[in-house]
Structure 1
Amino acid sequence: MAVHFHEEDLPAGVLAEGPIAVDTETMGLITARDRLCVVQLSDGNGDEHLVRFGPDSKFDAPNLKAVLADPNRLKLYHFARFDLAAIEHYLGVMATPCYCTKIASKLVRTYTDRHGLKNLIEELLGGTISKAQQSSDWGGPEITEPQREYAASDVRYLHRLKEELDRRLVREGRMAIAQACFEFLPTRARLDLAGWPEHDIFSHM
């Protein structure tokens, strides 16, 4: 298992075929203001790839964009809504089809309100990750080793989590509604980008 670090693009041919886990690190939570700094990916075979973008980046990244935009490759996220918006805003591609472990968790783990990635890894996989670097400066001149490990851990477990969450979705008869939610996520991300991040347009008021 290794963490590979790349500047401005993903090298061609480093990912195996099949679903890939994807996550992003940004300067904050307001997509248009807080630039994309890192995109991390894993094909589930033990290695993670981190692609870092500098403050003057043009976000060209043709290899990364090709992988993210591939309509035949499922992308696994935890809180896909945020990552999809950041990727589309900065890289100009909608990184779908997608699967969101947070949504799947909310549909089947109705006995708890703890749906963070750390919570899922602890309960479903018996593992643990550190979130100490979550709010660190991802736009600095160097990405530290603790930051690299944190970023890698955010995609390291998503394939295994999907397997367990899928079993529970089938068990509870909620796979179809989960899939409908995943298919709506690009629209939800675009609503965020267009200025409706909190208002529920489906509500009466």
Structure 2
Amino acid sequence: MVEYIVIEDAEGFLAACETLAAGSGPAAVDVERASGFRYSQRAYLIQVFRREAGVFLFDPSTIEDFSPLQNAIGQVEWVFHAASQDLPSLRERGLEPPRIFDTELGSRLLGHERVGLGAVVEQTLGITLAKAHSAADWSTRPLPASWLEYAALDVEHLIDVRDVLDAELAEQGKTEIARQEFQAVLDREPKPPRDDPWRRLSGLHSVRGRRSLAVARSLWQAREDYAREQDVAPGRLVPDRALVAAVIADPATKQALAGVKEFNGRASRTQLDRWWNAIVAGRESTDLPADRVPSDTLPPPRAWADRNPEADRRLKKARPAVEARAEELRMPTENLLTPETLRRLAWAPPSEVTADSVGTALAELGARPWQIDQTSQVIADSFVASLNADEDVSATDS
């Protein structure tokens, strides 16, 4: 069994921070949220391990100011598994790592087929973890002992895993690649809010007409407001499909809405007035949403041959070449270069295709220096080859 200390008061918190500050080496950090249960993505448990200090489980609901913890470990590397999932919740509490090591991302760069924490721990250390509570409601209080032990195990072995992966990265000549990728995770800006988040309602494509879309928007906003107020995941109150069913049913009265069988969910009837008022507000709205909104999303590649045949040929030449380069590097293609980046470059390439111009375009699309080094020449050669193929086809046709 793993040894850990649960921190639930100010005195214990300060003592734990002093112990962690006196530890050695990096700090392993993990966060447990209540995704799918709560509206927020706040941390409901923060786990920290450091050698010569031990494992501490901090209950954020009992700690107002996390600056002592930041001061204790804020100068050392923080080790995560899938850091991008945990960083927003930590930053919400004022916790910011100076640099990171991500064992999941490191495993991907090394070409490991299985990159979940349990698999990585088993591959690197030969230790089997019981992953029984990953989807639990971590806002539960008190937390069961079995959950706490699971949470402690998430960080207890992470430093040892980091050391094994770090050596493997050095052996494969990927230390600098990993450093750039870890820094990119740390530097990544949060995505800006969507202009029309309600358009992500599952099944909205079946709603026809601007007035009906206004009703859908109004219902979505009513659910969002209530979910925020109750701190409950919106889909647990009324599922997307139920909101869409209410729009399509177009009930004439509140009682008719209550009679819509597909309009279900735990708050569908207890908050019936709320939903009916939203429907009425949508119907009375003078600000009707457009049927479709402009988007910079590229068309699906299957449509390229008709809509942009030159881009289609560029993509078909470049994609296997990039895949081959990824295979040489023993890593997934999406880690070498995201498919979206390659598609955007193929759709709108530099006017003069060279390795340098392709590299500049890749940088503008957010590619890291190592990715540019590994792919710019490959992509440039592929684009030129596709152009030559175009000329051969034209000569044959003439």
| Alignment TM-score > 0.5, same fold | yes
Greater radius of gyration (CA): 2
The residue correspondences of 1:68-147 to structure 2 (distance < 5 A) are 68=73, 70=74, 72-88=75-91, 90-108=92-110, 110=111, 112=113, 114-147=114-147
Which whole-Å deviations, capped at 9, do the CAs of 1:85-127 have from their partners, x for residues lacking one? 2111x2133223111001110011x251x10010011111110
Higher strand share: 1
The residue correspondences of 1:10-21 to structure 2 (distance < 5 A) are 10-11=13-14, 12-15=17-20, 16-21=23-28
Shift of 1:58: 7.1
Letter matched to residue 180 of structure 1: Q
Shift of 1:179: 0.4
Which whole-Å deviations, capped at 9, do the CAs of 1:60-91 have from their partners, x for residues lacking one? 222123235x2x31100000111112111x21
Q: Which runs of 4+ in 1 moved over 6 A?
A: 29-32
Whole-angstrom distance in 2 between the partners of 1:47 and 1:92: 22
Aligned partner of 2:68 in structure 1 is: 63
Indicate the SS of the match to 1:19: strand
Whole-angstrom distance in 2 between the partners of 1:44 and 1:120: 20
Aligned partner of 2:8 in structure 1 is: 7
Which whole-Å deviations, capped at 9, do the CAs of 1:157-180 have from their partners, x for residues lacking one? 111111110111011111101001
Aligned partner of 1:47 in structure 2 is: 54
Whole-angstrom distance in 2 between the partners of 1:132 and 1:99: 25
Whole-angstrom distance in 2 between the partners of 1:142 and 1:31: 17
Unaligned 5+ segments in structure 1 are none
Shift of 1:32: 7.6
Distance 1:148 1:79, change over 3 A: same
Aligned partner of 2:164 in structure 1 is: 164
Shift of 1:131: 1.1
Whole-angstrom distance in 2 between the partners of 1:144 and 1:117: 21
The residue correspondences of 1:23-42 to structure 2 (distance < 5 A) are 23-28=30-35, 33-42=40-49
Q: Identity of aligned pairs, percent?
A: 24
Whole-angstrom distance in 2 between the partners of 1:30 and 1:73: 33
Distance 1:164 1:29, change over 3 A: farther
- The normalised TM-score by structure 2 is 0.45
Indicate the SS of the match to 1:43: strand
Indicate the SS of the match to 1:81: helix
Higher helix share: 2
Work out whether residues 31 and 85 of structure 1, in 8 Å CA contact, stay in contact via their aligned partners in 2. no
Letter matched to residue 191 of structure 1: P
Aligned partner of 2:190 in structure 1 is: 191
Distance 1:147 1:118, change over 3 A: same
Indicate the SS of the match to 1:191: coil
With a CA cutoff of 8 Å and minimum separation of 6, indicate the structure with the bigger relative contact order: 1
